[in-house]
Amino acid sequence: MNFFSKLQSREKLFLSIMIFLVITVAIYSFFSKHLYQSSISKTKLEDTYSDYKYVLNRYRQIEKSINSKLNSDKSKLSASLETFLLSKSIQIFSIKEDNNDLVIDLESKNLSSLTNIINELNSKYDLPIKKINFYRNNDLIKLEIVVD
């Protein structure tokens, strides 16, 4: 500070301009560098997300292909469906075979959770579904899925 006060006014002006320019260039370099890095990261994120969606979609297809082999064996299919449905927040009323069909009875308090279960089953299993019936049972809604 003492050094600065001893300088001539034109030297002070020159030094101030130089300091200002150095700081401006430093801030610009810092900002542009990180902006560039951010732009690269964004592109990479978009690519990775696109890859993830593609891989996930292919995985579901593979999973469905593997599970489609269960259609020929109703008891194995029944066990697999029970394992899957137990992981969901709905009540399994029964899963039983009836005249070579597999009848799945489920219960829930709302319709939307039951429709979600049907869509999830559809994406995971290649089920030849014949019928889907909803019945109101007092406060609960009962879902019956008949698989051929």
Partner 1 sequence: MNYYIAHNINLDSDFLELYESSSGKFKKVVIDDLIDLLETDSTFIYLLPCSKYSSYKYNYDNSLTNTVNEINFISNIEDIVVSDISSQKIYFNKNEAYIIDKNFIANLNTFLSNLKIIPFIIPEHTVIRDILGDIKIDLGDEIFLFNEGMPYRLLKNILKSNIEIQNLSNPDQSSSYKESLDKSFMVALIDKFDLYPNFFKFNFSLSSIKSHLRLSSAYISTFILSICLILLLPIIQTNVYERDITKYEDGINQIFKSLDKNIVQSAKPRKQIDLLADNFNMSQKNNLTIPNINFIERFGIEYIDSIEINVIESNANIYFSNIPSSQLNIFLTMSETFNISIINQEIDTSDNKSTGYITIII
List interacting residues with partner 1 (CB under 8 A).
Answer: 27, 30-31, 34-35, 37-38, 41-42, 44-45, 48-49, 51-52, 54-56, 58-59, 61-62, 64-66, 68, 110-112, 115, 118-119, 122, 126-136, 141
Residue among 104 and 127 whose Cβ is closer to partner 1: 127
How does strand 129-137 pair with strand 140-147?
A: antiparallel
Provide, rounded to whole angstroms, the least separation between the CB of residue 6 and partner 1: 9
Query: Around Cβ 147, how many Cβ atoms within 10 Å?
Result: 21
As a whole number of angstroms, the distance between CA 94 and CA 58 comes to 32
Listing DSSP states for 99-113 in one string gives TTEEEEEEEES-HHH
Provide, rounded to whole angstroms, the least separation between the CB of residue 139 and partner 1: 9
Residue among 54 and 76 whose Cβ is closer to partner 1: 54
Which residue stretches of the chain are H helix? 2-6, 9-68, 74-86, 111-124
Residue among 62 and 79 whose Cβ is closer to partner 1: 62
Provide, rounded to whole angstroms, the least separation between the CB of residue 56 and partner 1: 6
- Beta-bridged to residue 106, according to DSSP, are 92, 143
